[in-house]
Structure 1
Amino acid sequence: MDWNDFAAPIWLSVQIALVSSILVFGLATAAARGMARAKFFGKPVLETVLLLPLVLSPTVIGFVLLVALGRRSWIGQAYEWLVGQPIVFSWIAAVIASVVVAFPLAYRTIKTGLEEVDGELQEAARAYGANEWQVFRWITAPLASRSLVTGYVLGFARSLGEFGATLMIAGNIPHRTQTIPTAIYIAVDSGNMSLAWAWAGVTVLLSFLMLLIISRKQCP
């Protein structure tokens, strides 16, 4: 195997993790802001739905996504009509799988941090005429910065290691949808343990760096 074939899953995994972690961070932050202090009928049910992918098997998640976004679904048909290619077995499918799997982990982390912010400070800022964006930018985000950073990093790390859902909906197409986890699976299945170890080592290194960022952020 040449260098390009070895590096392709690594570069693809990093790309998918970067894009999906940004999407996860935005969605999780918005959902956490809405749920942190809100009180409404059915909140426990909605909270359970948001956290459900955290306890579901990635294979089950991938199957549900395959049915929801496949070529027989109206979403899949509409996307294929607009873009000219199906969602499944594409780079976008890998991103979607990573977003769904990583979202609840980031959401729970960020929501915990937002709930710890003093609500009186936020109300005082609103009383002085600050809009919701200004309250979040100048009050909430700085006070919950540790949770926000941790949520983003955990979303990135979870996206980087996603396997089951990605394999179900995106497949294992070299240079297109083959990520590090799926590449390791194929290498082990074919008996190429040295190659599997090399990819595994890269994953461990990247994950270690992500956890190091969290540790440095949480240490005073």
Structure 2
Amino acid sequence: MSGWLGPDEWQALALSLKVATWATLAALPLGLFVAHALARWEFPGKQVLNGLVHLPLVLPPVVTGYLLLLTFNPTAPVGGALQAVGISFAFRWTGAALAAGVMGFPLMVRAMRLSIEAVDPKLEQAAATLGASRVWVFLTVTLPLILPGVLAGVILGFAKAMGEFGATITFVSNIPGQTQTLPSAIYAFLQVPGGEGAALRLVLISVAVAMGALLASELLARRLAKRVGGA
């Protein structure tokens, strides 16, 4: 692939993989916790939390990116506090990962929540009556049953992170080698004469990643349905 892609294209692909991987790994624990809370718990503000989780799906990505910039730029209270301990997001690849994680988070949570809701609560209650703690019930009963749904959520979150553009370019700009991911590189190549070939190659890679993620997610969803239906 390195012979087919130029140095700038390869750099954008490598950075996209890095950003999407870290975005997905960082969002996974929180996504699983939120999905379980929305599926199993009743608490004040549950609908507000559900709305906030899905807000990036309905907001223009540029708005999400601008809100991240307002929150995490070094002159903001949150951004300044993080900067003081050596954590920086604005105009860095870490910021691209944060933006990608935020945009992919709703898809990840939704897939996991649906898989948790498909599990019969009586199975969890039976384990609890035997003296198992909530954490142990989740690890030994719930998690094995929802694993296909978790994997589907991870795949969808990763694919969304790979394709994120609006929030990323607003938050961290389009700096080659630092924040220029696949979508940003495609945009940049289309702005210069003769860049159509490079843009097309990156488009084909993006389509392949997206289609692969959707097919994998569908296969895992079917596997989950068969498992639950046969239980």
Same fold (TM > 0.5): yes
Cα offset for 1:2? 7.6
Q: Which residue of 1 aligns with 2:101?
A: 99
- Tell me the SS of whatever aligns to 1:176: coil
- Tell me the SS of whatever aligns to 2:197: helix
In structure 1, C-alpha distance between the alignment counterparts of 2:49 and 2:89, rounded to whole Å: 27
Q: Which residue of 1 aligns with 2:227?
A: none
User: What amino acid does structure 2 have at the position aligned with 1:18?
Assistant: T
Deviations 1:79-113 (A, max 9, x none): 22222x74210011001101111111111121111
In structure 2, C-alpha distance between the alignment counterparts of 1:218 and 1:102, rounded to whole Å: 18
Cα offset for 1:196? 0.3
Which aligned segments of 4 or more residues in structure 1 are displaced greater than 4 angstroms? none
In structure 1, C-alpha distance between the alignment counterparts of 2:167 and 2:24, rounded to whole Å: 16
Q: Which residue of 1 aligns with 2:127?
A: 125
Cα offset for 1:59? 0.2
Check the 8 A contact 2:149/2:220 in 1, yes or no.
Answer: no
Q: Which residue of 1 aligns with 2:83?
A: 80
Deviations 1:162-182 (A, max 9, x none): 001100111111111110000
Q: Which residue of 1 aligns with 2:52?
A: 49
In structure 1, C-alpha distance between the alignment counterparts of 2:165 and 2:142, rounded to whole Å: 34
In structure 1, C-alpha distance between the alignment counterparts of 2:88 and 2:149, rounded to whole Å: 36
Gaps of 5+ in 1: none
Cα offset for 1:26? 1.6
In structure 1, C-alpha distance between the alignment counterparts of 2:88 and 2:118, rounded to whole Å: 43
Higher deviation after alignment, 137-146 or 5-14: 137-146
In structure 2, C-alpha distance between the alignment counterparts of 1:103 and 1:218, rounded to whole Å: 18
Q: Which residue of 2 aligns with 1:67?
A: 70
- Tell me the SS of whatever aligns to 2:119: coil
In structure 2, C-alpha distance between the alignment counterparts of 1:41 and 1:77, rounded to whole Å: 31
Note closer, same or farther for the CA distance 1:42–1:160 as it changes in structure 2 (3 Å cut).
Answer: same
Cα offset for 1:116? 1.5
TM-score where L is the length of structure 2: 0.89
Higher deviation after alignment, 135-144 or 153-162: 135-144
Deviations 1:18-55 (A, max 9, x none): 11111222211110111212122322122111211111
Cα offset for 1:214? 1.9
Gaps of 5+ in 2: 224-231
Please say if 1:23 is aligned against 2:26: yes
Check the 8 A contact 2:108/2:156 in 1, yes or no.
Answer: yes
Deviations 1:162-211 (A, max 9, x none): 00110011111111111000000011111311110011111111222222
Q: Which residue of 1 aligns with 2:160?
A: 158
Check the 8 A contact 2:20/2:162 in 1, yes or no.
Answer: yes
| Identity of matched residues, % | 33
Check the 8 A contact 2:66/2:170 in 1, yes or no.
Answer: yes
Note closer, same or farther for the CA distance 1:9–1:32 as it changes in structure 2 (3 Å cut).
Answer: same
Superposed CA RMSD: 1.8
Check the 8 A contact 2:104/2:157 in 1, yes or no.
Answer: yes
